[in-house]
Structure 1
Amino acid sequence: MTTSAGAQEGKARDHHLQEPDPGQASRGWEPRPRVCVIGAGVAGLVTARVLRNDGFRVTVFEREPEPGGVWTSSRSYPGLRANTPREVYSFSDFPYPDGTDDFPTAAQVRGYLAAYADHFGLRPLLELSTEVTSVARVKEAEGDTGSFEVTVSPVGTGDTRCRTFDFVAVCSGTFSIPHVPRLPGRDRFAGSVRHSSRFQDAARFTDQRVVVVGGGRSAMGIAASVAERARSVTLVCRRPHWMMPRYLLGTRMDRLFVTRLAEALLPPYHRPDPNGGEAPRQSTFRKMAAPLLRLWWRGQTRLVPRLAGMPPGMLPDATLPGGLEKSGIGTEFYQALREGQAEVERSGITGFSGPDTLRLETGREIRADVVVLATGWRTALPFLDEELTAEVQQDGRIQLYRRILAPREPRLGFVGFASSTACTITSELGAHWLSQCFRGELDLPSSEARECEARGFDRWATQAFPDRPEGAFIGPYVAHYVDDLMRDMGLPERRKRSRLREYLGPLTAERYRGVADERRQARTKGNAGSHRDA
């Protein structure tokens, strides 16, 4: 249940006044350890707050002139909304104000994140319009000093300066560098070609022939946003992704799919077992239930397109749950197709064939004044030096212990890289886990065991999510992943007194609103205690 805007503001301000004194939290640490946080999006803001409250001296570097990450005004296209409802896409103790859409718009999310930074006193920690260009261990003649040298550059100045930190938390996210395919004949094309990250004003496309390349959420969202004003709109893709309706038979999607029960219907999650495989009990259950699960997903594969109003030409190749790693929410583009405002070409592009034409792999040519490349992002860590990069990235795939920690460098963490259907929840709990690790309060296995776990997860993810090359993706397995983090921190995984509410209720952020207090109590008492919501 949300509060009014004024009530939210008051609640947030009161909470800020009651937040722990960092000096008290760091009793025995003199001087307080310094942490560099890279990025001020969802993950960066919550990580900065958790670390500050746990006694660290925090500096956040953000290359954009405002916090918000993927939601900043320079990266948001018209019509962009959160993929999940506001109760899921929020932090545990800071609800959206009344009047916020069920699925918040980009402007609403941007305002929410700005309010979060203001009300919890994070602005003084932020160094905006400042890009991190290098992170390397500080080494002297006798070896590693246990700190990092971070080189930063104020955007547009060409100047650089170096800072030293005890820990680094990378929160720059998986959507950091636009993937722009090289299309032959670009010099022949007289029109505009841009990546979807540079699409901000739909009005500029009035009376233009627009071609959008891509089959995912951004491609369909952009195509739908210009359909009413463009002269023509053509979506070009080889394989369209699953796009789910926001409501199924009048029920909001999170109440059906973002639950523990829904996760139980998925293929088995990665189990960090040194011997591999599943626990015998679960394996036996799955063998018995396999025919029913196949029937269930076959039925969903037929039902979802009907409920979404999906035209036959947009039906994905994969049978559910296959393809969920690329799925999105929103069916506006399907409506544009039905109303004749857009068309689809199931093909790839071989290149530009003239000043206003593109040639498809089918041999057909289509006319265009504007080409929007909704072709995704590359996960890159260009600021890490070669030594650190080699420790966390193999063949372009990020390999991290618990999707957070560099396996052989416990002073280097990554929050927000465990992309999921509830990224605010996984980021917030990831921040608590990392802070506990940085404080030396987490019972970590050996570096060899951490490497083994990271490699094992990567093998599982390669099979479970073949279309997600970044490596740390967990997708719909939110409860499974969060349970691992809670268990590591010695905190209860189950958050509801009622088993029905635990398994059937949506995994909303408020379930975890007491984690900071639980960690402090455990630190004081020497044990995790217990916590259950009503």
Structure 2
Amino acid sequence: MDPPTRHQFVISRCYDTIAAMAFIHRPLVIIGAGQSGLTAARAARDAGLTPLVLEAGPRATGSWPNYYDSLRLFSPARFSAIPGHRPIEADPDDYPGRDVIADYIEGFSASIDVEVRTNTRVADVEPAEHGYVVHTATGEAIEAVGVVAASGSFGTPHLPTLPGRNEFTGNVLHVADYRNPEPYVGQRVIVVGGGNSAVQVGHELAQVATVTLATRQPINLVDQRRDGRDLHHFLTAGFDHLPVEWFAPFITGGLVLDIGGYRKSFDAGVLDRRPLFTGFDAHGVLWADGTRERVDTVLLATGYRPNLGYLSGLGALDETGAPRHTGGISTTRPGLAYVGLEFQRSFASNTLRGVGADAGHIMAPLAAYAAGFHTGLV
């Protein structure tokens, strides 16, 4: 085959340039319109990219409206605002509730002037010659300069395998499906889990039902307020900024912030804690000491896993479904990044106050990746 003429070479380079220009003007698709996705969208806009936020739900609030009715932040309003956005409309020392935060995030969405498409669930992301193609559940295919996964974990509750589960005739549900204590009045309830949500929900249920927290290890209650000041006075002064490897040893083993008189409930016997039962039978549970007890409801407060099934065809996830990343930057796919992962880079990574730093961290390489196609370097 004859080598290309200079004229053919110039035409080829023009086509490459046109393709690169088209590539850089494609949107950066951000999956999820919660605090993480919207903060990433603002960072993308500020970096000169064109963000397009796709949200599965009907509002630009992420999962907040779906949480249980009494959910409150574990940090006071003064320490929970999104940096660069207005303060939360609440007493600065109060712990804002679910609906207050949902409205706050929706207001943030309206303030940042980016396109957000609600009721748009992402079904799959596939690689393209340049960037990615994002497929929605309605059949739309969106060409993207890159992808930011900000879909949180609420859609993937962790359901542990417990012996005899299929024999049990009572109710078993995850805390993701819990709303309020009304359906459980007078019941015998076991809450499985020893984290903040488990204790908060268990304490609420204990006002109307007989409740035990079943955990693998003792619960370590930490007073929310010390010397009249909320613990976050000290966390935001420095602890928030520690790398994960430095603070991890301090948060292992059932650490729970006591914001609602939990210690008093345990001390008074209103709420008790026992080692996790060894299995179910038809009518209840078998405790570790060999006793059986009839139970009405078992509530699993056993956490969540990243909701990233739409990335399964990219080789971007490990065998457990967790993302392969460093600080939110995919280690397997250029142009793919994450925000809102728990402890992504710091203690505050997936919080209202902390996600902005992670969004800024991932946006520089994403912008450089897009610019690389524009200049022909990638």
TM range, smaller chain: 0.7 to 0.9
The question of 1:150 aligning with 2:143 is answered no
Distance in structure 1 (CA, Å) of the matches to 2:143 and 2:370: 24
Larger proportion of helix: 1
The Cα shift of 1:385 comes to 3.7
1:315 alignment partner in structure 2 = none
Give the 5 Å matches for 1:333-412: 333-345=262-274, 347-355=275-283, 357-389=284-316, 393=318, 397-401=322-326, 403-412=327-336
2:108 is aligned with 1:116: yes
Q: Secondary structure at the match of 2:99?
A: helix
Is residue 219–residue 253 contact of structure 2 (8 Å, CA) maintained in 1? no
How many pairs were matched up? 346
CA contact (8 A) 1:436 1:442 kept: no
* 1:137 aligned partner: 127
> Following the alignment from structure 1 to structure 2, what is the Cα–Cα distance between the partners of residues 183 and 339?
30
Aligned pairs (5 A) from 1:273-312 = none
Q: Distance in 2 between matches of 1:343 and 1:353?
A: 22
State the match for 1:519 in structure 2.
Answer: none
**Gaps (5+ residues) in structure 2?**
1-19, 373-378
* Alignment correspondent of 2:356: 428
Tell me what 2:338 maps to.
414
Verify the 8 A CA contact 2:33 2:55 in the aligned structure 1.
Answer: yes
Structure 1 residue matching 2:135: 3-state secondary structure: strand
Going from structure 1 to structure 2, the CA distance change for 1:433 and 1:29 (only over 3 Å counts) comes to farther
Q: In the aligned structure 2, how far is the partner of 1:334 from the partner of 1:366?
A: 25
| TM-aligned CA deviation for residue 378 of structure 1 | 2.1
How many angstroms apart in 2 are the aligned matches of 1:436 and 1:59? 17
Matched, 1:86 2:77: yes
In structure 2, distance between residues paired with 1:269 and 1:262: 11
Specify the SS of the correspondent of 1:393: coil
Give the secondary-structure state (helix, strand or coil) at the position aligned to 2:78.
Answer: coil
Q: How has the CA–CA distance of structure 1 residues 434 and 238 changed in structure 2, closer, same or farther, with 3 Å as cutoff?
A: closer
RMSD: 3.1
Q: Find the counterpart in structure 1 of residue 17 from structure 2.
A: none
Higher relative contact order (CA 8 A, sep 6+): 2
Aligned with 1:47 (options 11, 21, 40):
40
What is residue 458 of structure 1 aligned with on the other side?
none
Task: Return structure 1 stretches of 4+ with deviation > 4 angstroms.
Answer: 28-31, 261-264, 394-397, 441-444
Query: What is the one-letter code of the residue matched to 1:335?
Result: K
Q: 1:257 aligns with which of 235, 238, 254?
A: 235
TM-score between both structures, scaled by the size of structure 2: 0.81
Q: 1:263 to 1:58 in 2, by over 3 A?
A: closer
Q: In the aligned structure 1, how far is the partner of 2:156 from the partner of 2:240?
A: 33
* Paired residues of 2:78 and 2:93 also in contact (CA < 8 A): no
Report the 3-state secondary structure (helix = DSSP H, G, I; strand = E; otherwise coil) of the residue aligned with 1:151.
strand
After superposition, give the CA deviation of every residue in 1:398-420 in whole Å (9 maximum; x if it has no partner): 4323x121134331111122524
Describe the SS at the equivalent of 1:222. helix
Q: Per-residue displacement from partner, 1:296-315 (whole Å, max 9, x unpaired)? A: xxxxxxxxxxxxxxxxxxxx
**Equivalent-residue separation in structure 1 for 2:309 and 2:244 (angstroms):** 34
Per-residue displacement from partner, 1:430-481 (whole Å, max 9, x unpaired)? Answer: 222322222229999xxxxxxxxxxxxxxxxxxxxxxxxxxxxxxxxxxxxx
Task: Measure the CA separation in 1 of the matches of 2:256 and 2:155.
Answer: 19
Secondary structure of the corresponding residue to residue 431 of structure 1: helix
